[in-house]
Amino acid sequence: MAKTRNQYTCAACGGVSPKWTGQCPDCNSWNTLEEVPVEPAAGNRAARFQNVVTNPAKVSRLDEFATVNEVRISTGIAELDRVLGGGLVQGSVTLVGGDPGIGKSTLLIQALSSIAGHSGTPTLYISGEESADQVCLRARRLGLELSVLPILTENSLERILPIISVEKPRVLVFDSIQTAYTDLLQSAPGSVGQVRECAAQLVRLAKQSGISVFLVGHVTKDGSIAGPRVLEHMVDTVLYFEGDPGSRYRVIRSIKNRFGAVNELGVFAMTDRGLREITNPSAIFLATHDEQVPGSVVTVTREGTRPLLVEIQALVDPSALSNPRRVSVGLEQNRLAMLLAVLHRHAGIFSGDQDIFVNAVGGVRITETAADLPVLLAVLSSMRNTPLPAGLVTFGEIGLSGEVRPVQNGPERLKEAQKHGFRVAIAPVGNCPAKGIPGLDLIPVSRLTKVLDYLSGNHS
């Protein structure tokens, strides 16, 4: 058998070099060379040409595959199934990323246990991080049925792959991909080259054998080097754990999903018996106040396919700094700066001498523009030290010319708010149904100035 060689490819320019150097000889970038294996081409040139002639590639029409059905396995955890787009697709590769200690291993061992327990589906948990004793102790503490959970503690891909072909699991967890290594490369486990090559081999395995694979990836300190990000393009689904380390709530978000909606959220609470599903997450993201307080607004965000009520808080305080602070937690910082500029330009409200802090309660992260109007109202309410009316909910995107733009799925958001007992809604005109929403007082707005008129007309 021909010997495999390794070469080094520059991640910036793609230049190839036979040996590792700190600086790429082609583009002069530093620390961009990564080790990649080079498979020697089989046979001589004439034989390869013959192969192309006798075995040409073929174009197919999609209707030839119309009989193929998507097979999904339920993980037995409804929140996880929803984030996956309705269950685990056979032969798919799912990357589960998140900070160390956030609960990745806990969730996956719980999922494996319920997959194996409900349908008798064979599973395999490969742990490169924890010993079998540790995994067993954890599973026992979680109250899982131990006899249905096969485990393998191994890091070498060359030793793992034959075991997989003997055990034939249908669902496989690899915890974590940063501990895996292949003999094809000389670099250390956890390096970009190793992580990529090991993941590529597992992806190939999943596609060929129909095994559904979960890869666990720790988010590393700088968030890029050999972290889960280098794998995102190779896998079918990318799930990230979010959440405040101090809070017991954990949110799983789908960042990429070839089989379902992105930005879908699954909400869990970390308890002493593992992760528990939260089926009514709106309740936990609303802080409970006995009376209305300045700087607090409730909005309906819609991450994925489910509307979610979230409280947004703002604190505006005169600044002692020449460059006042703008801090946002769970919301986009640049968007906040833009909104404050719109507020100044189109409503004449100046905040350049104030420190401004905004926060989405409960450790949730809001990425959509529907939070624009609520953020501005929270800022205004804190600035004027005036609470907003009780039972008010609001959402809407704000444009640079001071207009309030409609957002997706307006009526659905309004209904969710009404269901949770809200009575008044300030919403973009385009989002208010002509028939209205029973039980909800709608205030359609098209410009920021209209919102301010409404508020000052009501309580000043």
382 binds Mg ion (CB under 5 A): no
178 binds Mg ion (CB under 5 A): no
| Axis crossing angle, helix 333-347 with helix 448-458, rounded to the nearest 10 | 70
CB of 146 to ligand TYD, least distance (A): 14
Radius of gyration of the chain (CA): 27
- Nearest CA to 356 out of 385, 394, 314 is that of 314
> Could you tell me which residues are beta bridge partners of residue 276?
269
Q: Which of 83, 102, 265, 342 binds ligand TYD (CB under 6 A)?
A: 102
- 203 near 232, Cβ under 8 Å? no
133 binds ligand TYD (CB under 6 A): no
Region of 98-106, 119-127, 182-190, 451-459 interacting with Mg ion (CB under 5 A): 98-106
CB of 129 to ligand TYD, least distance (A): 8
Q: What are phi and psi of 456, to 5 degrees?
A: -70, -30
Task: Look up residue 407 and give its two tokens.
Answer: 């957002």
Please identify, using beta-carbon distances, which residue of 176 and 382 lies nearer to ligand TYD. 176
CB of 134 to ligand TYD, least distance (A): 9
Integer Cα distance of 440 and 306 in angstroms: 20
CB of 270 to ligand TYD, least distance (A): 5
Region of 93-101, 113-121, 202-210, 434-442 interacting with ligand TYD (CB under 6 A): 93-101
What is the number of the residue whose Cβ is closest to Mg ion? 105
CA distances from residue 114 to 10, 106, 138, 168 in whole angstroms, order as listed: 44, 13, 15, 18
Q: Is omega for the bond preceding 176 within 30 degrees of 0, making it cis?
A: yes
Q: Which of 82, 104, 335, 413 binds ligand TYD (CB under 6 A)?
A: 104
CA distances from residue 131 to 126, 365, 421 in whole angstroms, order as listed: 10, 34, 50
138 binds ligand TYD (CB under 6 A): yes
Please identify, using beta-carbon distances, which residue of 110 and 351 lies nearer to ligand TYD. 110
105 binds Mg ion (CB under 5 A): yes
- 206 near 170, Cβ under 8 Å? no
Integer Cα distance of 181 and 188 in angstroms: 8
- Given Mg ion, ligand TYD, none, residue 179, with its beta carbon under 5 to 8 Å by kind, binds none
Please identify, using beta-carbon distances, which residue of 9 and 105 lies nearer to Mg ion. 105
CB of 152 to ligand TYD, least distance (A): 17
> Could you tell me which residues are beta bridge partners of residue 254?
239
* Residues near Mg ion (CB under 5 A), total: 1
106 binds ligand TYD (CB under 6 A): yes
Task: Look up residue 123 and give its two tokens.
Answer: 């599973």
Please identify, using beta-carbon distances, which residue of 98 and 307 lies nearer to Mg ion. 98
Integer Cα distance of 253 and 368 in angstroms: 14
Please identify, using beta-carbon distances, which residue of 105 and 313 lies nearer to Mg ion. 105
Integer Cα distance of 236 and 232 in angstroms: 8
Q: What are phi and psi of 307, to 5 degrees?
A: -75, 145
Please identify, using beta-carbon distances, which residue of 105 and 351 lies nearer to Mg ion. 105
Please identify, using beta-carbon distances, which residue of 255 and 270 lies nearer to ligand TYD. 270
Q: Which positions lie near ligand TYD, rule CB under 6 A?
A: 98, 100-106, 138, 141-142, 270, 272-274
Q: Which positions lie near Mg ion, rule CB under 5 A?
A: 105
